[in-house]
């Protein structure tokens, strides 16, 4: 074999290796993009469902479907803390006042927590809905002058607005990175509840 033949073989091996590395990187990027976009859609769908439930529940704080039965506005919110809230409402629109309780639990060794939504009424036992993948679930509470209240709120009757921060992320990371989405909203306690 001549000198030029050996150089041709070495050059071919180097070019083949570069081409192989390029193809492998392209494949890895395609897999990561597929995971990220698919995971992003799943996380956003989960967040949208949870936000719809939260919006519906928080809009009904202190609500009663029976016009003659009025909840005491100073007792509508039972517990107000940074990652949990408990309030009264006729959630099912059936004339029975429910206790609605949102709280976040963390499991050791896992990056995601589970958000629980528990409802009680006088007829049924507790019904719990679980929302996995929640990494942030925080509340901030404000009085009617927009002053932030210290948590846990010792006088829940002073709460006029509730700020909710919520982040959900994928169950499994890809290359150590979770796909996540974030939502933040401020809910005003219904004026008809505050003016009763």
**pLDDT per position as a tens digit, 72-113:** 878 899 999 999 999 999 888 888 889 999 998 876 555 568
The DSSP bridge pattern shows strands 161-169 and 148-149 to be: unpaired
Residue 32 lies in a domain: no
Write the CB contacts of 123 (distance below 8 Å, at least 6 apart in sequence).
Answer: 96
Residue 65 lies in a domain: yes
Report how many domains make up the chain: 1
pLDDT of residue 101: 93
Residue 21 lies in a domain: no
Residue 2 lies in a domain: no
Domain containing residue 120: 43-194
Asked if 57 contacts 91 with a C-beta cutoff of 8 angstroms, the reply is yes
Distance of CA 59 to the CA centre of its chain: 18
Residue 76 lies in a domain: yes
Residue 103 lies in a domain: yes
pLDDT digits (tens, 9 = 90+) for 121-165: 655 556 667 777 888 899 999 998 999 999 999 999 899 999 999
End-to-end CA distance of the chain: 99
Residue 132 lies in a domain: yes
Residue 71 lies in a domain: yes
């Amino acid at each position: 074999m001549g000198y030029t033949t050996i150089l041709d073989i070495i050059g071919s091996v180097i070019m083949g290796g570069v081409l192989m590395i390029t193809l492998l990187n392209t494949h890895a990027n395609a897999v990561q993009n597929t995971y990220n976009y698919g995971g992003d859609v799943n996380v956003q769908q989960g967040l949208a469902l949870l936000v719809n439930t939260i919006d519906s529940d928080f809009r009904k704080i202190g609500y009663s479907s029976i016009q003659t039965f009025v909840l005491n506005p100073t007792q509508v919110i039972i517990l107000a803390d940074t990652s949990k809230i408990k309030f009264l409402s006729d959630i099912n629109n059936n004339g029975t006042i429910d206790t609605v309780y949102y709280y976040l639990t963390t499991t050791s060794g896992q990056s995601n927590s589970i958000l629980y939504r528990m409802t009680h009424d006088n007829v049924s036992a507790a019904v719990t809905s679980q929302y996995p993948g929640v990494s942030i679930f925080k509340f901030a509470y404000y009085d009617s002058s927009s002053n932030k209240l210290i948590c846990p709120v010792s006088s829940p009757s002073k709460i006029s607005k509730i700020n909710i921060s919520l982040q959900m992320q994928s169950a499994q990371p890809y290359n150590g990175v979770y796909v996540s989405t974030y939502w933040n909203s401020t809910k005003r306690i219904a004026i008809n509840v505050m003016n009763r």
